[in-house]
Structure 1
Amino acid sequence: MNGKAINISNGAETAGQSGLVRCREDDTGHLQREQELRNGKFVGLERMYDREGRLQRERTVNEKGNSQGRVAEFWPNGKLRREEFAENGRTQGAARRFDATGRVERVAFHGDGQELFSAEYNAQGQLSRLMCPRNSVLPEDRKPCGFDGVIDTVLHTHTGRPAAQLRYDQGRLLSATEWSADGIVSAQQLMQDGRRVHRSFYTEGGKSVLREERVYAPDERTLRDSRGTLHSQRRYGSTGQITEQRTFAEGREVLLERWYLNGALRERSALTGTGDQARLRREQFRDDGTLALREMLTTEHQPVGTQQYFHDNGRLAVEEQYTDPDVRGRTRATARKQWDEAGKLVADDILLEDGSRQRKAGGLDS
């Protein structure tokens, strides 16, 4: 320090001292470290060097030993590798990363303890990743994030192939389309009536085919966020026909519909009522459109009330009666009727609590 040898591990030698401490490698004499000493404490400038004596990192530290102000890292050729600014060890403001030629690889901005903006670039200088802020924070965000007007920003892979197209307006993402390696649409997100709409696709015969669509209830989440309360969900077959649709109210599924690939309705389940009186009415159909069963269930999927099953010809085959739920939410069958395909009653039973049955007197009527 100040041209004199000093043992920095000996507090007695550093106490009250101020100056720039330089540490060198014994064999080569290459500079390894520089640290500023203020009144016996390492506060201020700090530089670290590699074994060849080339500057690797430079920063300023505060009395707590944390980075304060500019923090920079360098490539062996002396070019800047990374630069950011810190507030008591926490990144604050702009942060940039460069390759060995000086080309920008990443730009970011930190505020309020989080990263607000980031942009990454491939070797061709094309955008490969982008996260936009709510308000412009750097010159690099103005055009791609739509602060200069609505824009379609294309993201590229490391090879330069288009991977996604994002439409921004004043930092707000309006729509996003993603492509597969074959250049076929694989995913899409957009806003409709204040709701986030997410669509996923698969490839069929070299074409993009819609597989699923999810619509979220209005909220404050960003467009590409896959969390949140669903409003509806649809699934589609290979030819584009709808095969399933779910509808939600306040996060609870209230309607389920399924279809066969021939377009005929396969199942319909609707939730009615609230609380303990909530019931699920479910109907299932054969692929020719004839009704196969009609049942009523509690939200715990316990049968309640009248349950009906039908023959292939559409005639009623079995009808069962169930009690209301007990204190444990369970129900039990109390009666059962059965008809043949011609409509003739062949069984009319009372079902007892122990599981046995009692045939009603008076015979069976057709």
Structure 2
Amino acid sequence: MTSAEAIIRCELNGKAINISNGAETAGQSGLVRCREEDTGHVQREQELRDGKYLGQERMFDREGRLQRERTVNERGNSHGRVAEFWPNGQVRREETADNGRTQGAVRRFDATGRVERVSFHGDGQELFHVETNGRGQPTRLLCPRASVLPEDRKLCGFDGATDTLLHAENGTPTAQLRYDQGRLLSATEWTSGGLVSAQQLVVEGRRVHRSFHTEGGRSVLREERVFAPDERALRDTRGPLWSTRRYGASGQLIEQRGFDGGREVQVEHWYLNGSVRERSTWSGTGEQARLLREMHRDDGSLLRRDQLTKDQWPVGTQQAFHDNGRLAMEEQYSAPDARGRTRLTARKQWDEAGKLVADDTILEDGSRQRRAGGLDS
């Protein structure tokens, strides 16, 4: 006979009762005990008060071994101690509930009674937890802003700043966390091979997040994000940025961005040979915002210098340069119209020796009007 076919018989104070029949439980008080008819094993015990299930409740497995016990309030929610058990009778998990919501300490144990996880809940959220492997080494850690349990005192730096190593199940170190008074000051994470994979720290009040990759058996920095000073937790990836940097496969800097009030104000790019590739700087705000962008060749010489509106329309003076550094072309653009658009109004061109070879006025229909005289002979 399968468990789906098992017949369960219940009794109240030693007398048979059909708990599905409200007429039989109405006004009754005492302990309801239900057993599987074939085995006689207890499956459930519930306290009945004036026809309502209120008080102690205990649930058992098919073999009659206690699985879970709790106290139920008038709303049918857990209230007070809630415990789960291993088949050998050891406590598996215990907590305190407040009208169905976990409140305070929660502890989880393995079948031998060793603590696997300790946590603390308050204000509807988990404020602290620590998990350990079979060797008793911490594997995961979340610290509260104020001490809530004896277990958090040393790990979270409430007895003074401290470094805590986290480990994998096999004992391999995976991270090092530095806490002081519950605040994470730095965190370094390692790959299974012992190489740095990520790092977070606080520098001059700013959160710094770094990510790494493995190259030739070594850890190489790939990206760095620096946040503007705020009160967010170190691992929080939100908030206005101060700067970002990206690095090439060999660790050389290839991109840097600067921010002001969360708004990007500067961008720099480099070639893999180390020469600057682009440097762009924003000035002004709103409709008056302007981008000055300088493009370079891979030998570092200036290729172009442009000015753009916030919508990336050219405005004012645009310049291009020969390989020898001399000015090759200069264009003039109008101020933005009501739709934010600009138009080319003039263009000059020079050869590599610096001789002016073209001096054009650009008319509204796009045609050009070249100066007849005045060019260098």
TM-score, normalization: structure 2? 0.93
Match of 2:369 in 1: 358
Structure 1 unaligned blocks of 5 or more: none
- 1:66 paired with 2:58, answer no
4+ long deviations beyond 6 Å: none
Superposition deviation, residue 351 in structure 1? 2.3
Q: In the comparison of the two structures, how many residue pairs are matched? A: 366
Q: Within 1, Cα distance between the matches of 2:367 and 2:158?
A: 76
Please, which runs of 5 or more residues in structure 2 have no aligned partner? 1-11
| Counterpart position of 2:116 | 105
Q: Which residue of 1 aligns with 2:54?
A: 43
Amino acid across the alignment from 1:73:
E
Residue number in structure 2 paired with 1:10: 21
Q: Deviations over 1:160-199 (max 9, x none)?
A: 1000001111111111111111101111111111111111
* Partner residue in 2 for 1:28: 39
Measured in 2, the distance between the counterparts of 1:130 and 1:161 equals: 16
Superposed CA deviations along residues 252-297 of structure 1, whole A, max 9, x for unmatched, are 1111122223322221111112222111101011121211000001
SS of the residue aligned with 2:166?
strand
Task: Report deviation, 1:364.
Answer: 4.0
Q: Per-residue CA shift, 1:34-69, capped at 9, x if unaligned? A: 111111111111111111111111001111111100
The alignment-based identity, stated in percent, is: 77
Q: 2:313 aligns with which of 297, 302, 308?
A: 302
CA distance in 1, matches of 2:364, 2:107: 76
**Which residue of 176, 190, 205 corresponds with 2:187?**
176
Give the aligned residue type for 1:85. Answer: T
Aligned counterpart in structure 2 of residue 217 of structure 1, from 221, 228, 231 = 228
Partners in 2 of 1:207 and 1:288 — Cα distance?
30
Which whole-Å CA distance do the structure 1 matches of 2:71 and 2:140 have between them?
31
Instruction: Compare 237-246 and 110-119 and name the one that shifted more.
Output: 237-246
Counterpart of 1:125?
136
Q: CA deviation at 1:101?
A: 1.4
2:354 and 2:292 map into 1 onto residues whose CA distance is: 25
Aligned with 2:101 (options 80, 90, 109): 90
Measured after TM superposition, the shift of residue 345 of structure 1 is: 2.8
Question: Which residue does the alignment assign to 2:298?
Answer: 287
1:343 is displaced (CA, Å) by 2.6
**How many angstroms does 1:360 deviate by?**
3.3
Match of 1:327 among 338, 362, 365: 338
In structure 2, the partner of 1:54 is 65
Shift of 1:239: 4.1
TM-score, scaled relative to structure 1: 0.96
CA distance in 2, matches of 1:245, 1:141: 39
How much does 1:363 deviate?
Answer: 6.6
Matched AA of 1:185: V
SS in structure 2 at match of 1:139: coil
Partner of 1:156: 167
Quote how far apart the aligned CAs of 1:128 are.
0.2
CA–CA distance in 2 between the matches of 1:218 and 1:11? 63
- Return the letter of the residue paired with 1:62: N
- SS of the residue 1:143 aligns to: helix
